[in-house]
Chain A
Amino acid sequence: GAVVSQHPSRVICKSGTSVKIECRSLDFQATTMFWYRQFPKQSLMLMATSNEGSKATYEQGVEKDKFLINHASLTLSTLTVTSAHPEDSSFYICSAQGTRGTGELFFGEGSRLTVL
């Protein structure tokens, strides 16, 4: 299957700082990437849909000013958690749509954010 790389895999930061997470599709071009959040023992919750060259589409209840998404190229999308607080601590996972364009998604390894 296609490879999606996510970095960093783990980050610890102080409350009030901003953290950037990168998601790269390594062997294919992804016009659409998705960002999910997952709490322990729970399923994935879609946060936003990221389209190359345009503004991200956020799901209801997700603060777009807090979770900044940039999709500047066909292989890179970034999620920046601004002014992070302890309640933002979670597992963030990106995914990229496969080239068949039929909804097949490939996921990154996830990034565990801990805000102190």
Chain B
Amino acid sequence: QKEVEQDPGPLSVPEGAIVSLNCTYSNSAFQYFMWYRQYSRKGPELLMYTYSSGNKEDGRFTAQVDKSSKYISLFIRDSQPSDSATYLCALGANAGGTSYGKLTFGQGTILTVHP
């Protein structure tokens, strides 16, 4: 079993739709959770960062973490064609020292928002 499982997609939605992207994990040591957006042939761009259960909202994006179920989600409201990209969940565990930042990534979900 992989430490982090992400719905692979691909996901295709019409403009304006609400998008739900999900990851599950097995290691309860993960303490902080991130979502990255990666456009083709570009480096990942940090979208959301959270370290507690619950919801965190930033504009059209909402990150949801449920530590008891080991489940995280990213919701995109009013999706736009410019949101078309690969979305990666990333999880980190605090083991001290240089383990900060050593992330475990999901496989990525390819999202296409069509006009």
Are B92 and A43 in contact (CB-based, < 8 A)?
no
Tally B residues with Cβ within 8 Å of A: 25
Interface residue? A58 (CB, 8 A): no
Is A103 a contact partner of B32 (Cβ separation < 8 A)? yes
Q: Which residues of A contact B (CB under 8 A)?
A: 1, 4, 6, 32, 34, 41-44, 46, 49, 51, 57, 91, 93, 95, 97, 101-110, 112
Q: List 24 A-B contacts (CB under 8 A).
A: A1-B45, A32-B100, A34-B102, A43-B107, A44-B88, A46-B102, A46-B103, A49-B101, A51-B98, A93-B43, A95-B44, A95-B101, A97-B101, A102-B51, A103-B94, A104-B101, A105-B90, A105-B101, A106-B46, A107-B43, A107-B44, A107-B46, A109-B42, A110-B42
Q: Given contacts A49-B102, A102-B51, could you give 9 more A-B pairs where the C-beta distance is less than 8 Å?
A: A43-B108, A44-B44, A46-B102, A46-B103, A49-B98, A57-B98, A102-B100, A107-B43, A109-B43
